Structures are given as structure tokens and as C-alpha cells.
Amino acid sequence: MIDYLRCYMDITAHRPKIMYGSTALEDVDAVIPRIGASHTFYGSAVVRQFEMMGVYCANGSQAITRARDKLRCLQILARDGIALPVTGFAHSPKDVGAVIGLVGGAPLVIKLLEGTQGIGVVLAETDQAAASVIEAFRGLNANILVQEFIRESSGTDLRCFVVGNRVVAAMRRTAPPGEFRANVHRGGSVRKVRLTPEERSIAVRATRSMGLQIAGVDILRSNHGPVVLEVNSSPGLEGIEAASGKDIAGKIIEFIEKKAGGGTNRDRVGA
């Protein structure tokens, strides 16, 4: 384990290096990036430097930055035909009413693009409340997404943990009373869940769309089938290992042992 924020880079043609303290990180076969959301820029630069050195990266730098940008992530998923909640995005306050209508009106969900772990996610019960929240966020120059509220999910979502081309574990997260966000950090409870073939397929397809090898894909069960909420490039292990009873960390290591000899990732997503 190394702190990527303490890494510094020698960006030189033909002999790029990463230094950690006074030690050069050499003879590295593979790395598993675990990049915090607040340090995506620097963390992805470190991963990119490893890629320049020919080190196999379980998740590539471009895939990490792609997944971290919520808008870009949804646009790529939509391009690839992966089902999503109806989502709107606008810049001008003059278009607030049109965006609210685009997603079917209240109740609806408003999300900060920069938010994580359920922070910056608001459920607006009326069109007037939605307009007020959107105008407040835009007044602070914050970029937001507006999404339809999947009422039938009843405060639950599914976290699918994908390694390679398969779902290795899944859990259902349930929001506490009075809360609609099922994030564990918001007090949500978790339990093992059995996925349908369609849910497994959409989780793997979403991971592949991002160009990731390891991902946590969040899914809602809607009346028209599963819809993807988010693709996380650094999913937590503790909750899902406890819920599923599976050694997911071990499965990641096994996957990398098979893949590391083939060199670096080739990112073909192109977006």
C-alpha cells in the first residue's frame, strides 16, 4: 500500500519514473488504483505515469477520470444503449422549468456533479421546491443533474461488484426510515441479493462502457427494468464482502495475476 499523494513523478522521455519518498518505484508488475474522489486529478496522473512505465493498471487513468465525471459517464452509458433514469442537464436558470418537465416533473432527484457518497443529492417533492433548489445550486455556480425519481425502488438500490467480465458479488442497500438515499455512509443497511440475468448483464456492460476492469455498479429496479445510477471506479470492499460473504479482494488479486503479464490496459472507449 502506498499513498499516491506522496508520489512524485519524473516525466522524462524514455525513462519515466515515480518516486515515493527517496525510493524509485521500480520492478512493479501491477497496481490496483484506489483513488479518492477529491484527488481524482492527481491520482489519475500517478496512474498515467505507471502506464507510461509499462505497468499493468487494473483500472486505467482515462477510465477512472471518465467514470468520475457523472455527466460524461451517463452520456457514454446512454450512447451504448444502457438503461438510465431520465436525466436532464442545463446551464441557464431560464431553462429550469423545461428541464423539470423533461424528467417528468416532481418528485425528482437533483444531484451535484461533484458529490459523492450521497452528499449533494436532494429529493424535491414539488416542482416549486425543485426550481428553488436548482436555482440555489446554479447561483453558487454548481453543476447539477436532474433525474426522474424511481418511486418503485422504495429507497433501495443494488451494488454490483464487477471484476473483469463478471459480477463477483452483489448486495441490496436499503435507506433508513425517512431517507431515500441508500448509501451505507448515509446509514443504509445491506444484505445479500440474488441478481437477475438482466441485472448481471447491465452491470458488466456498464463497466465495459467505462473501460474499467474493476467497478461497483449501482442499479435501481424500476417498472421498466434495471437502470444504472452510477459506475464507481474505486468501490468499497467492507460492506459488500460482509453482505455477500465473499473474498472480493482475493478475486481482484486472482484477476490481476492472470492479466498483468499482458502489459498495460488498452483503452478503446474513445470518449
CATH number listed for the domain at residues 87-149: 3.30.1490.20
Q: Which residues contact 208 (CB under 8 A, 6 or more apart)?
A: 165
| Distance (Å, whole) CA 29 – CA 264 | 10
Give one word for 186, left, alpha or beta, with left for phi > 0 and alpha for psi -120 to 50: alpha
Q: 64 near 47, Cβ under 8 Å?
A: yes
At 56 the pLDDT is: 95
Spell out the domain ranges in the chain. Answer: 4-66, 87-149, 152-261
| Distance (Å, whole) CA 20 – CA 30 | 16
Q: Taking the alpha carbons of 183, 147, 69, 205 in that order, is the dihedral positive or negative?
A: positive
pLDDT above 60: residue 262:
no
Same fold, 4-66 and 87-149: no
CATH number listed for the domain at residues 152-261: 3.30.470.20
Q: 16 near 229, Cβ under 8 Å?
A: no
pLDDT tens digits for 132-174?
999 888 888 888 899 999 988 878 999 999 999 999 999 999 8
Regarding the domain delimited by 4-66, which CATH topology (the fold level of the hierarchy) does it fall under?
Rossmann fold (3.40.50)
At 182 the pLDDT is: 60
Beta pairing class for 56-57 and 30-31: parallel
pLDDT tens digits for 207-252?
999 999 999 999 999 999 999 999 999 999 989 999 999 999 999 9
